[in-house]
Copies of this chain bind each other. A is one copy, B any other.
């Protein structure tokens, strides 16, 4: 087990009506808030009006900025930063899923900064402050509601980059599973894959003696696997929606990687994919992760066999652990398909003509991943395995 520091101070308020606390929680941080959201569904559902009413009742002035799209763009972030400065906003409230939260985090970081925001993402500068961030979660997937990470796409060159800093960790996250009853099956499925992927990135590690976190990862994966089909079968199944929502947070609140090192190569490859093709992140991961697994399985068959047995109930073949290992990957793919998720680029109508470009960009800053460090050829081979 590695030495580590763990601190996650986000206040999570979970359950029916949790979003009604937005006024009280924001008022403790700010007098004027930017309300940041995506498309029209937040308005149509009435959620927007309830949140504005709660903020008004608590005496918080509101400036609104909608229009966040999946794979949130730097241009809208810049607009948000300008708005915050002009309106002297002192908190940013995200109402949505990971894209909205990530966009809100970037705005909160850029608004009080003396340097261009992208300098932080490129490692050219380090921030010393950010506006406080609050979240009303509508799509459990990215885990951004308690994470210190923001992933933004810079349209110039279609670079998708993540930035991690404790200042980006939301002060509060309001999680009401009922708000997810209306999610379409594709978003529910893609969200669950994103959660699973967050756990798997941490699970596949070279670190030894990580029993507790292994088991906590397995607990989280099994819960997602058990509850996704239930939520797809009955979108208004509160219990299933609640398990998925809490799992999305646990998958990415940093607890599961205490004492170990995550891999994150699949995420980096997927980032190249979604930067070019604007694929939903979870869908991209459903395609990339199995191909990554097949590429690296022989590096540590014991770990893949443990994954197969403990997560997918594969009976261990003690004479051939590699067979157990591969069966785990097969079950994972079968599970994705049984949930209606694509597992090939063909299903996304993506050809092989830009594999070289993606492979080159993915390793631009050096080999990616830690479980097996991958070079350009590896990434290309994995992309070929996604066809």
Contacts and interface: CB of A to CB of B under 8 A. Distances in A.
A293 interface: no
Contact of A7 (B12, B226, B239): B12
A220 interface: yes
Interface stretch (A13-21, A71-79, A112-120, A130-138): A13-21
A242 to B, nearest CB: 5
A259 B14 contact: yes
Contacts of A247: 212
A223 B211 contact: yes
Given A223-B212, A250-B212, A18 B3 contact: yes
Interface string A1-26: 11111111111111111100000000
Copies of this chain: 2
A243 B213 CA distance: 9
A228 to B, nearest CB: 12
Given A209-B242, A211-B223, A7 B7 contact: no
A270 interface: no
Given A216-B219, A220-B212, A222-B215, A242 B5 contact: no
A12 B254 CA distance: 12
Nearest to A176: B3
Contacts of A242: 1, 209, 259
A255 interface: yes
A157 B5 CA distance: 42
A307 interface: no
Interface string A204-233: 000011011001101110110011000000
Contacts of A219: 212, 215-216, 218-219
Given A7-B9, A219-B219, A243 B212 contact: yes
A312 interface: no
A258 interface: yes
Interface size class of A (residues with CB under 8 A): 35 or more
Contact of A243 (B1, B10, B17): B1
A246 interface: yes
Given A4-B12, A212-B243, A215-B222, 18 more contacts: A1-B15, A1-B238, A3-B14, A3-B15, A3-B18, A4-B13, A5-B14, A6-B11, A6-B12, A209-B242, A211-B223, A211-B227, A212-B219, A215-B218, A216-B216, A216-B219, A218-B219, A255-B255
20 contacts: A1-B239, A3-B15, A3-B16, A3-B17, A4-B12, A5-B13, A6-B12, A6-B14, A14-B258, A208-B239, A211-B223, A211-B227, A212-B219, A215-B219, A215-B222, A215-B223, A216-B220, A246-B258, A246-B259, A250-B255
Interface of A: 1-18, 208-209, 211-212, 215-216, 218-220, 222-223, 226-227, 238-239, 242-243, 246-247, 250, 255, 258-259
What 10 A-B pairs come out closest when comparing CB atoms? Answer: A3-B15, A215-B219, A209-B239, A9-B9, A7-B11, A212-B223, A219-B219, A6-B12, A1-B242, A216-B219
